Chain A
Amino acid sequence: MYYVGTCRCCGQGLLGIRICCEDEIGLILCEECEAIWLHPTCPGSPLFPQQPDSACPRCNRPIWQPPAHWATQAEVDRLDWNEYVLSDWENGS
């Protein structure tokens, strides 16, 4: 999981780059509390997926189920978000 920082909403979650089901749409998703921003600079108040399915606020599909996934290096390149990536954390799956 390529992460860009720590979630200011919950204080502990890592902010990973998530690809929701729409091609080339990238989100910043907290793997702890599911806070979502649409850009790695995390502007403004976060969005939250709708329960019970954690539906993505962009595409309304479950954020934790395929085809949604953590971005690959190629997808980070395509999003042009490399400058925001702090590291790749393996355990995030």
Chain B
Amino acid sequence: MTGRFPTSGSRGLRATGLTWLVILLLAAWYLVVRPMVVEPAAGPLPSPAPSAESAADSAEPGLGQLTDQGNGLLRSTAGLLYAPGSQEGHRLKHVLRHDNDQPSRPGLHGVFDGDADDLLAVIDEAYLLVKAGGRQVKSRRERQRMVHDVDLRRRIGFVGGREGRRQGNPPATRVRLVLEDDRVITAFPF
């Protein structure tokens, strides 16, 4: 730091001026820049990416709400895209198959607890965990798609279908998300 020990004469005056200039610059930096660095980001965050721990407690309010983007495209709060397609004609209808058990269906059939809103909120919550990364998520690539197994660390449904019933309909704590980019192919609990 210059100008710490002022001397007499023009050299001393120049040093004093430089000192004040540095002090003024530091003060300006403190007033203008520091608040932006220190204070948490504010603003509209309808679906903030939570830490792995916080999202596991419960689905956050507002998750799973769908916005109509036209042409049958529905965008969820967390950013998932439900588009026309599948055997049911729309991915939303396809995923909603997992809102009810199909006890006579061969094999396993994951069933979400709650209603359709709860189902969509849990899927959104799982997607936020995928985006945040962490130990609750196990992902694998299958050509152009990703299969994410997300452990929500609480009951979110049960295992139904004929085989699930044979096993006593055990609780499901994980969601399997099959995605192509942000496009939902399917999602169900297991």
| A residues neighboring B (CB under 8 Å) | 3, 6, 9-14, 31-35, 45-48, 51-54, 64, 86-87, 89, 91-93
**Looking across the interface, which residue of chain A has its beta carbon closest to that of B149?**
A11
Cβ–Cβ contact A91 & B102, under 8 A? yes
Cβ–Cβ contact B147 & A86, under 8 A? no
Q: Which of B8-55 contact A (CB under 8 A)?
A: none
Complex CA gap A89/B105 in Å reads 7
Q: Which residues of B contact A52 (CB under 8 A)?
A: 83-85, 183
| Residue of A9, A14, A45, A53 touching B85 (CB-CB under 8 A) | A53
- How does the 8 Å CB contact mask read for B146-168 relative to A, with 1 for contact and 0 for none? 01000000000000010000000
Which of B58-66, B106-114, B119-127, B131-139 lies at the interface with chain A? B106-114
Cβ–Cβ contact A93 & B87, under 8 A? yes
Residue B67 is within 8 A (CB to CB) of chain A in the complex: no
User: B87, B142, B188: which has the most chain A beta carbons within 10 Å?
Assistant: B87
Complex CA gap A31/B109 in Å reads 12
Complex CA gap A35/B186 in Å reads 11
Given the known interface contacts A10-B147, A64-B85, A64-B87, the answer about A45 and B142 at a Cβ–Cβ threshold of 8 Å is: yes
Q: Which residues of A contact B190 (CB under 8 A)?
A: 11-12
How many contacts A-B (CB < 8 Å)? 68
Q: Which residues of A contact B143 (CB under 8 A)?
A: 45-48
Given the known interface contacts A48-B143, A48-B144, the answer about A3 and B85 at a Cβ–Cβ threshold of 8 Å is: no
A interface, by DSSP: helix, strand, loop or mixed?
A: loop
- List 6 A-B pairs, minimum CB-CB distance, nearest first: A6-B107, A12-B108, A33-B178, A33-B186, A54-B85, A32-B186
Cβ–Cβ contact B108 & A11, under 8 A? yes
Complex CA gap A46/B178 in Å reads 14
Cβ–Cβ contact A51 & B85, under 8 A? yes
Q: Which residues of A contact B106 (CB under 8 A)?
A: 3, 6, 14, 86-87, 89
Cβ–Cβ contact B178 & A10, under 8 A? yes
Complex CA gap A35/B178 in Å reads 11
**Looking across the interface, which residue of chain B has its beta carbon closest to that of A34?**
B185
Complex CA gap A13/B142 in Å reads 16
Cβ–Cβ contact A14 & B186, under 8 A? no
Q: Which residues of A contact B104 (CB under 8 A)?
A: 91
Jot down 6 A-B pairs with beta carbons below 8 A, ordered by A: A12-B190, A33-B186, A51-B183, A51-B185, A64-B87, A91-B102
Complex CA gap A46/B183 in Å reads 19
Complex CA gap A11/B106 in Å reads 12
Q: Which residues of B contact A11 (CB under 8 A)?
A: 108, 176, 190
